[in-house]
Structures are given as structure tokens and as C-alpha cells.
Structure 1
Amino acid sequence: MTETTNFKRRHFLNTAALGLVAAQMGLLTSANAASSGTSSLSTAAGISPGTNCFSDIKQIKAGLLDVGYVDVGPAHGIPVLLIHGWPYDIHAFIDVAPILAAAGYRVIIPHLRGYGSTRFLSNDTLRNGQQATFTADMVAFMDALKIDQAIVAGFDWGARIAATLAALWPQRFKALVSVSGYLIGSQEINRKPLSPKAELQWWYQYYFATERGELGYRANTHEFARLIWELASPQWKFDDATFFRSAKSLDNPDHVAISISNYRWRLGLAPSEARYDELEKQLAKFPDISVPTITMEGDANGAPHPDPKAYAKKFTGKYAHRSVNGGIGHNLPQEAPQAFAQAILDVAKLI
């Protein structure tokens, strides 16, 4: 099933309602709210300005990490785990969280390893960014929070992580919303060359494979990230405040190491860690996903992404794909928060 949403015309919450919800839930702080004398939310598509931030970052020890995360909404609500991608952060969901919280859901948004206030518990732990590390991190995180079951949703790296969780633990992750669909990969499949045009889109993957690339990303992390934002979402006119709100999370001391490791591992240039071998073996079989799923794609996604027809058969349960129109790029939750939140509300009805 394929659905098309015109984001510029269809809203299920208007700007004023979203601002009221955010204020009531205490989700946001604003650098200029005290002196502005106006609503803290802009009038453009219900998207809040970059001066609004999550106000309460919690920390919990989980597995190898001390995880920084946001936890908003009713404590006894159905948990929804939202997972960000690279090079973004938890503020990709700044306008999604109040919508879901107002609907009675408990919204949990962790910083991935290498982002924000998340830190490794030991200096001796390998700064590994291979696929299965994030999967294991999220399971440990949910265990630490004593959450047995949740809906999971994400984009970019977060969509891949969400898909691995739904595929391997369907008893725990009861429904899935995934931007760009089925992104589970393996080193073996990544050894196969793509067409020259497709390879061009992965230019930064090859840059990161070099020592020059690692040094360049370390020296120019913010500039590099902003370029990725612009290329991946060519019609998204984000301002400086919106970018820098998330760019601060990239100042994490492990961010560069995790990013470089992730892309080198994909190309087979970095070894797998033995503790994750069993997980990678399961993921390399490209398991079907049986839980109810909605996949999404923006009409202006400038990042590499598969055709929805190529992965539809991987979802064997209740399934729908939604195309979101209106110049929506790669960071769909932040560019089209109402559409993303609505997909979560709708997939919950299919459980």
C-alpha cells in the first residue's frame, strides 16, 4: 500500500496547538522566550525555531554506555523509541515529541554512541561504529529503563537501527516507522560495486576511508555536517540556530571515531568486533520484518536511498508506504514532524 501526503497542506495539529502542548509538557526551553512577547513557535508548517531545545536530558548507564536521553510524556504511556541519524541528533524529533506526548505516549529519544552527552563507561572500550553496536546499545538501553515493549521509529542511521531491532526482537519492538525503508546491511553486500552515479552519492564514505578524510572531518566537523544537511535536504531552509542546536552534539569526544568506524566497516576496511559477530550473522541474512510497519520517503531526499519497491517485500506484516510531498528531504522527522508523528500514531493502531 502506498500513500502520498502533501505536507504543506495537511496538518493534524496547527502551530498554536503544538506550542501549547510543548509548553504544558515542559518539553522545551527557548533562548528568547522570555523577551519575545510572541509565540515560541514559528508559523511555518508548525516547526519550532532553533532556539527551542529539549529542557531535561537524563542519563542512564546501559551496557557499555552512559546514555543521554529525553523521556517525555506520561510515564505509563506506551513507549515510543525515536532514533536519530548522522550527522543529526535528538533535536530531529523536537516537534514530534510533543505531538506524541499529547496523545498519551511516553517518548524516549537517546543520543547514540558518539553524540551529545552519551559517553563510554570505560576508556578501554573500542570506539566501534559497526552496524550491530547500535543494535546492542538500544537493547541494553531499553533493559536499563526496564521497558519490555515499545514502538520504534527512526531515520538515516536511526532507521537502520530501528529495522534491526524490529527484525530481531519482534516480541519487544511491536511496530516500526522507518524513513527510507529497509536499510539493514552487511559487509558482504557492500563489497558489490554500484553504478558510477550511485557511487558518486557516497563520496563521503570514500573520503572517510582515508587518513586525510578522518583528519578533515575532525578539523571541520561542523562545516562537514552542515554540507551533508544541505545536500541531503536541498529544499530545507534551516537557519543557523537550528543547525547549531544539533551541531553541539557532534562535539562529543567520540563522535569522529564512531563516524569513521561506521563508514569504514561498511566497506570492509575496519574489522568487526567479536562480541557482535552473532548479531551481524543474523543481520547478514537480511531477515524479514513481521511487525506492523510504515515506511516513509520525502519527495526531495538528496541522500542515497532505495526505491520503496525494492524493499516492500521485506515487510511481511501489516505494511504501508507513505510519500511525503512539499520539498521534504532526508531529515523527515524534523522537516515534516506532523507527518512523521501521524505515521507513529497510525502504526500503533495496527498492533
Structure 2
Amino acid sequence: MNRMEPLRTIEAGVLEIAYYEVGPADGPPVLLMHGFPYDIHTYAEVAPMLAAQGCHVIVPYMRGYGATRFLSDATPRSGEQAAFGADLLALLDALKIDRAVLAGYDWGGRAACVVAALWPERCAGLVSLNSYNIQNIAKAMEPDTAENEHSLWYQYYFHSERGRAGLAKDRKALTKLLWQLWSPTWPFDDATFARSAAAFDHPDFVDVVIHSYRHRFGLVPGDPAYADIERRLAAQPTITVPAITFDGIDDGVRPPADASAHAHRFSGPRSHRLVPGAGHNLPQEAPRTFADAVLELVPALRSQTTSSS
């Protein structure tokens, strides 16, 4: 089984970020961002596909996962969307990457959407599962359909101290259940889950997860360091960069939608695609589909990289 090793580390913002790197250093940069509850091995097949086409691929562990660590004990263990975007921006700065294709899903897709919306000059193109993945916290307490509320049970569970205790008690059993529910047609085996679940044995995993699912509902305050970013996100900024968005038809947490559902949030070129036989973890369930989407956005970046060399 392909393990993404060795890892590199770099200080970026409030974190020491651990990341996997593959492909030519002078190739067009692509950052692949994982979600909850997954890890960098989501991209174990996608990353080499992109590297084989000449891309410089970076796959970081997000805060609270794997070998990524907070630099200070005093930093709040925030899981808010502004923190994810700030982490990604800080990583681009630390790696001296001016502009990259940003691709992700779930938490990682949210980080990519935040950077694409607020710092479009840093994003040459966006690949995002579930389309516009920026939370509208002001409307978070508005009820959804009964079916959609049912699929969000885990979020409401995490609002309680019972949920925090449950996650801390057996994070692997709970996250494996989420894998099964969110990707019901994906026949992953125990070894595949175990390879990723090792990343959840992190001292800050529970704190970051719980804060994330409470903050998005306005139940807890955010880190004051990200207040300005959250204020800008509250305006639901439009994404102007070229984008390819996906929904897995079998997604068990976010029901698939047609392109019109989020069309008003994209003002640049956008292609929206539904993927049959795939659930919430699209890069691992349909790696070729995901890699090909990234490669569609690379040519303009490759041209820019070549002309500036």
C-alpha cells in the first residue's frame, strides 16, 4: 500500500506544517487539501498522477492531524474556516509559492475556497467538492430538510460534551462510521482506513474538531486572530478564479446538487460535475476524475511558470 513518505516540515503562521511533496520543483504548483476525518493519503493515487504530468505537488496535514503541530501551547485550537484559510495562505507564503492550483474537499476544500475568494491572486484555479464551501454562519441555525438534518447528526453530537467525550473515547470507531455513511458505495478495507486513522492520534485532534463543529453554528467564539477574515467571509464573497466543482452522487453527508445551486457564488469560469459511484471522499474514490480536473486548470499556470523562469 502506497504510503506518502517521507514528510517535510516548515513553519507557517502558527503551525509547523508537515507535508508530502512530489514532482519537479520547477513544475506548476498544486496544493491538495484533505478533509475531516481523512488525511493526506486521500491523495495517494492523485499526487503521483499529477507529478507524472510535471506538477509540483504539495499535500499538507491540516491543523490537528498527523505530524502538523502548533508552535505555541497558547494558540487557540480553532477549527473555524478562517483558520483553515489562514493556514493555507501561510503555507503558500512559507513555501514561496506565489500562485497555485488549489484543490480539496470538506475542510480542505473550505480552505481552498477561502483563499480563492479572499486572495484570488494566489489561486490559479480551484477544484472543490460540494461547490461553494464557505460557511454562512449567520444562517447556520436555520433548519434544513428532515433528510439533510438527519445526515448532520454527528455535528449536533459534537455540540454536546457527550459528543466530545465520545470522540475522545474512541475516535477511530466514530470516524470509521463516518467513512461508511458518507461513502456508502466505496469498498475501502481496514488497512486503508488504518493508514489514515493514524493521523487522528494527534494531541489537538479532538479540540480542533469540536471547535470546528461548534463555531460553524455560532455556539462558540472564534480565535480573535482570525476575526477580520471571518468578517470578510460573512459577506459570502464571490469566487472569481476558474473553478471545477464536483458532487458525488452517493455522497452521504452533502446531497448532490446541480450547477445552479451555487452558480451565484462563482463569477469566473466554472464547470460543475456529478460523479456517479462516488461519495464524499472523491479524490480517493475516483482519483483519475479528480486528477484530470486539476490538470484542466494547470495549463495557464504552467504557461505563467515557464514565462517567468
The reply to whether TM is greater than 0.5 is yes
Q: Please give the alpha-carbon distance, in whole angstroms, between the structure 1 residues aligned to 2:218 and 2:274.
A: 33
- Give the equivalent residue in structure 2 for 1:315: 266
Residue 93 (structure 2) aligned to one of 136, 139, 143: 143
Corresponding residue number in structure 2 for 1:168: 118
The aligned counterpart of 2:131 is 181
Residues 1:283 and 2:219 aligned together = no
Question: Which residue in 1 is equivalent to 2:190?
Answer: 240
Q: Give the match for residue 156 of structure 1.
A: 106
Amino acid at match of 1:311: H
- Judge which range, 300-309 or 180-189, deviates more: 300-309
- Aligned to 2:63, the other structure's residue is in SS state coil
Moved over 6 A (4+): none
Contact 2:248 2:256 survives alignment (8 Å): no
Structure 1 or 2: more helix by fraction: 2
Residue 180 (structure 1) shift: 1.1
Give CA-to-partner distance per residue, 1:260-279, whole Å, 9 cap, x none. Answer: 00001011111122211110
Cα RMSD over matched residues?
Answer: 1.1
Q: Does 1:69 align with 2:19?
A: yes
Q: Could you tell me how far 1:305 is from its partner in structure 2? A: 4.1
**Is 1:347 equivalent to 2:297 in the alignment?**
yes
Identity %: 49
3-state SS of paired residue (2:3): strand
Q: Secondary structure at the match of 1:54?
A: coil
Structure 2: unaligned runs, 5 residues or longer:
302-309
- How much does 1:324 deviate? 1.6
Q: Give distance in 1, aligned partners of 2:262 and 2:298.
A: 21
- Give SS of 2:241's match: coil
Matched, 1:115 2:65: yes
C-alpha distance in 2 between matches for 1:324 and 1:350: 25
One of 129, 136, 140 as aligned partner of 1:190? 140
Equivalent residues of 2:104, 2:129 under 8 A apart: yes
Q: Which amino acid aligns with 2:11?
A: K
In structure 1, the partner of 2:306 is none
Amino acid in the other structure paired with 1:70: Y
* Distance in 2 separating the partners of 1:136 and 1:175: 18
Task: Measure how far apart 1:307 and its partner are.
Answer: 1.9
**Shift of residue 196 of structure 1?**
2.4
Contact 2:102 2:123 in 1 (8 A): yes
Distance (Å, rounded) in 2 between the aligned partners of 1:138 and 1:298 = 25
Cα deviation, residue 234, structure 1: 0.2
AA at the equivalent of 1:173: C
Which residue, 295, 305, 310 being the options, matches 2:245?
295
**Partner SS state of residue 302, structure 1:** coil
The structure that has the greater radius of gyration is: 1
Equivalent in the alignment of 1:324: 275
User: 2:41: which partner in 1?
Assistant: 91
* CA deviation string 1:213-272 (max 9, x = no partner): 100000110000100000000010000110000000000110010000000101111112
Equivalent in the alignment of 1:12: none
CA contact (8 A) 1:318 1:350 kept: no
Distance 1:199 1:298 in 2: 19
Q: What is the number of equivalent residue pairs in this alignment? A: 300
Name which of 266, 269, 291 aligns with 2:219. Answer: 269
